[in-house]
Chain A
Amino acid sequence: MAFTNEQLERYSRHIILKEVGAKGQKKLLNAKVLIIGAGGLGAPAALYLAAAGVGTIGIADADEVDLSNLQRQVIHTTADVGKPKVESARETMEAINPDVTVKTYRLYIDSTNITDLIKDYDFIIDGTDNFPAKFLINDACVMAGKPFSHAGIIRFKGQLMTYVPGQGPCYRCVFKEPPPKDAVPTCKQAGVIGAMGGVIGSLQAMEAIKYILGTGDLLTGYLLTYDALKMEFRKIKLPKDHSGCAVCGDEPTITKLIDYELPSCELKSQG
């Protein structure tokens, strides 16, 4: 596959990088990334992956755009209110870059659909907003041998880690199981500063891009935390030994996907 003149110009700032080059840009154009959740994290991730020329981008979300989303979900506009988020996201991505094929999945993920959903993708981005979904994505990716970027944001804080099969701990290694319903704030009542999604979601896109290019160090074995009020990033080393993990350990006790119960305030807003 040769680049068109338009592609040579569009991706010129990538192609000039020694870590990318024409070869790396082709890898991006041939790559498939799935974003679960078209919201605070998924929106910036989708924008940067589309702009970067990631050839196939899947986006999964069951919701419609709400006015209260627009403070942070920068892929949607005021005119999109009421539209399915995946449609609005697709239109924006296609407008940014016609090289990208966007596949939309208007659904909530659960134990019955996630394995099928992730199977054709090279890398998965968790942009969901609740623990049942985050654990489900982790377990499904571990079981299917798929790399993914986990992230969470709340108030003025955010964090992320990257799982690559065979390389270091998974999300469940660190957090074991979802906290009881409503025990830890994840809900809209807690609030989040809009730009936090931009920071953390862009870092997730960066991890996906580096994974595709096979360049640099990923956040495998580390949790990167960001505190915007202190303006502090910390890269926290995670324990290496994951032999005892219930899903990625030597003798996994979790061998089937689990649908955990959603907190009461989030019954209508899964990712």
Chain B
Amino acid sequence: MKITVAGIAKEYPQGLTVRKLIESENVETPEYVTVTINDDFVESGAFDSTVLNEGDNVEFLYFMGGGR
């Protein structure tokens, strides 16, 4: 199936969970990433149970703490 991850079109097998996607995409600090699918938040407790669908648009939002 085709999904969009951080703006880039990707091909992944059916049945892909958010957790598996986080692993495949080598997300930095995976414990603390915020995930949205089609502009809705996915609770971090639901990463294992949330399965992606054809055409989904996934974004990873990262903590960025610096500034001074």
Contact = CB atoms under 8 A, between A and B. Distances in A.
Contacts, number: 86
Nearest to A270: B68
Given A174-B34, A183-B29, A154 B64 contact: yes
In this complex, the interface size class of chain A, counting residues with CB under 8 Å from chain B, is: 35 or more
Contact of B40 (A40, A42, A127, A241): A241
Interface of A: 37-42, 61, 69, 73, 126-131, 134, 151-154, 157-159, 174-176, 179, 183-186, 190, 192, 197, 223, 234, 236-241, 269, 271
Contacts of B59: 236-237
A152 B64 contact: yes
Contacts of A241: 40
A185 B40 contact: no
Contacts of B13: none
B32 A179 contact: yes
A102 to B, nearest CB: 18
A128 B68 contact: yes
Most buried by A among B6, B7, B40, B66: B66
B64 A158 contact: yes
Interface of B is mostly: loop
Interface string B37-68: 00111000000000000000001011111111
A126 B64 contact: no
A134 B68 CA distance: 12
Nearest to A42: B68
A37 B63 contact: no
A238 B68 contact: no
B32 A129 contact: no
B39 A238 contact: yes
A38 to B, nearest CB: 8
Nearest to B42: A239
